[in-house]
Structure 1
Amino acid sequence: MEAAVVRGPPLINVAAVCGSLRKGSYNRGLLRAAMEISKESVKGLNIEYVDISPLPFLNTDLEVDGTYPAEVEAFREKIQQADCYLFASPEYNYSVTGPLKNAVDWASRPPNVWADKAAAIVSAGGSFGGGRSQYHLRQSGVYLDLHFINKPEFFLNAFEKPAKFDSEGNLLDAAAKERLKEVLLSLQRFALRLRGESE
């Protein structure tokens, strides 16, 4: 009699995109923490950081015969291959950052490679923890056919005491890490649902 094969949960590949280009960014620190949490305690979730810093400013003059600059093509391929997305969105002037909007727009050019995928947003910042930027990103997601999880929301006031991050932007706060884990679990469930699979 053959032994039963025990399979783990289906693999979900996550493209992680940060709206800040600064290496010590708290928002980038949230993505590093999410990657560590996924390896330690969220089976079946693989998070890859996708760097948006090489992307040129969007300019349709750079589109030639349906092709894009090499950096844009590489970025779009990473987005297309992912099952879902994790955005770390800092807040600049009550909205998303220029680099993040630029990345969103490049990947939306025909064909839109964001469409019909699950997504989640996390933010660290001042008093509202970057929350206003999330609402603007959600508005863009409506047109892009991105399906954001509704709950849990994750906003973190990075400047409250005790310190939430170390001097290099690494997340220290245990409660925030637990909340981040809940976001990842919710994203995983929603991504599987959109793929017609169960955990």
Structure 2
Amino acid sequence: MAAAAIPSSVIKVAALCGSLRKGSYNRGLLNAAIDLSKTIKGLELEYVDISALPLLNTDLEVNGTYPAAVEAFREKIAAADSLLFASPEYNYSVTAPLKNAIDWASRPPNVLADKTAAIVSGGGGFGGGLSQYHLRQICIYVDVHFINKPKFTLNVFAPPAKFDSDGNLQDDATKERLKAVLLSLYAFTLRLQCKSA
């Protein structure tokens, strides 16, 4: 009988931003998360750009293959153990680019299945919280497993200033909250890998 696979202690996380805007606060959160991940042994974050993905159209699928940008994106997701979504809120929901990326990734074979995930959101009001609930609903069908705590939403307009003029996260308390999300995601991913092994 073959021995069970030993889970990897290096967790690779694909970081996706739902906003395509250059100065996006949500992209700023991901940039900060990438910097913070360098202080966590065994955690590797890579930003995965979704801006080049065409709108989902199954006419673009030819003989089981996808457009080059979609194939490259799907390969990045398939190679990751986990996902970190930065999900701004547009009209009480996730953004169109993020939903489009999820739809492409879930085309057969579904490269999202059984991955762990966490969500961070920045914005006004509830700090993007409503988009997080919708994103969780969407990802139930594609078999993504989210951490439950800590929850991370950020009202970027409430004092003190969270970002500098270049869009870099500068608030230490927010950085600590963001690091707590990464630590939780890392631990949750290792736990699920051990159970599956």
Residues 18-74 of structure 1, C-alpha deviations (whole Å, 9 max, x = no match):
0001121000000000011111x2111000000000000000000011110000000
SS of the aligned residue for 1:13 comes to strand
In 1, the alpha carbon distance for the partners of 2:40 and 2:174 equals 16
Instruction: Tell me the TM-score normalized by structure 1.
Output: 0.93
Instruction: Write the mapping of 1:28-107 to structure 2, written as runs, cut at 5 A.
Output: 28-39=27-38, 41-107=39-105
Residue in structure 2 matched with residue 118 of structure 1 by the alignment = 116
Q: Alpha-carbon deviation of 1:195?
A: 1.1
Instruction: Tell me the TM-score normalized by structure 2.
Output: 0.94
Query: In the alignment, is the contact (CA less than 8 A) between 1:117 and 1:194 conserved in 2?
Result: no
Q: Percent identity between the aligned chains?
A: 74
SS of the aligned residue for 1:195 comes to helix
Which sections of structure 1, spanning at least 5 residues, go unmatched? 1-8
Residue in structure 1 matched with residue 17 of structure 2 by the alignment = 18
* The one of 178, 182, 185 aligned to 1:184: 182
Equivalent pairs, count: 188
SS of the aligned residue for 2:194 comes to coil
In 1, the alpha carbon distance for the partners of 2:187 and 2:26 equals 23
SS of the aligned residue for 2:14 comes to strand
In 2, the alpha carbon distance for the partners of 1:59 and 1:167 equals 38
- Displacement over 4 Å in runs of 4+: none
> What is the Cα-based RMSD across aligned positions, in Å?
1.0
In 1, the alpha carbon distance for the partners of 2:53 and 2:166 equals 24
Instruction: Write the mapping of 1:132-147 to structure 2, written as runs, cut at 5 A.
Output: 132-147=130-145
